[in-house]
Amino acid sequence: MAAMNGCGKKRSDYLLATNNYLSRGKMEYVLGGLSFTSKVQIKAHAQNILRTRPEGQPLGSEDFSFVYELLLMHPDAQSKIGVGVHYIKPEKHLPYSKNCGFTICRVNGTFEDFSYKACLQYKATSDRLAVTSAFRVAVVDQVQSVKMRLIAINQDAQGNVWSETEGRSLPVSEIHLDHYPVPFSHILQGFLRYIGKDLTDIETFTPDGILNYIKDSNLSRLWQEWHYREAQYRIISAELNTRLGAHKTT
């Protein structure tokens, strides 16, 4: 078990290996558990969703998580989200439009469209991404602890762990823990709504010059407690993880 919990590694190395926030020292953007090395890659992924998903149908959980965290980067994110997001769907915003855009359905039944390009052009985008990554870093030990506990409980005589999602046993080295059925972005949305704040209200700091942390220790602790209560997981393989999206972290 020592090899699985990162024994012998420095904490910074362990965090990086667990969360994929960096790649060979290069900062990555993390949205919906997917990592990207540039805004160009984020744009391409958003375009692929609009091009390939059924028009007018709510996005699946993995796509929703990515698009919702992209929405958080919008300059008018608070007004776009309003009372809360029920689902997001691709649809044409104008009768003569050839291409789909993203439409939000709020929990009160009202609708609002938004431009993913505005999310990427907004000058505070990097700050919002940094804050989102700080929320992920705050619970990385929590997620890893759950992973180790699930392995210890479910490991069979051959050292493998059963995945209900895939209907087969997985070697420990192939296991990924995924937020499911409630994606990480939903949990974060609920927490921000509970404390009455937006991502731009949260202060972060980077003591090692690499990872972002929540500056307010009380807020960080409150978030950890919230995540502990709300988070549910599923065990998936590296193969499924790749199909859902490269470098899905949690």
What is the per-residue burial (b if ≥16 Cβ within 10 Å, else e) of 18-29? bbbbbeeeebbb
The string of pLDDT tens digits covering residues 92-133 is: 987 777 889 999 999 889 999 999 998 887 655 567 777 888
- What is the identity of the amino acid at 218? N
All residue ranges of the chain with pLDDT < 50 are 1-26, 245-250
Output the pLDDT for position 227: 97
Structural domain count of the chain: 2
Q: Which of 121, 152, 167 is the last residue of a domain?
A: 121
The string of pLDDT tens digits covering residues 123-159 is: 555 677 778 889 989 999 999 999 999 999 988 988 8
Domain that holds residue 183: 11-31+124-244
Output the pLDDT for position 10: 33
Q: CATH no. for residue 59?
A: 3.10.450.40
Eight-state DSSP code of residue 144:
H
Instruction: Determine what percent of the chain falls in helix, strand and coil, rounding each to the nearest 5.
Output: 45, 20, 35
129 and 234 inside one domain: yes
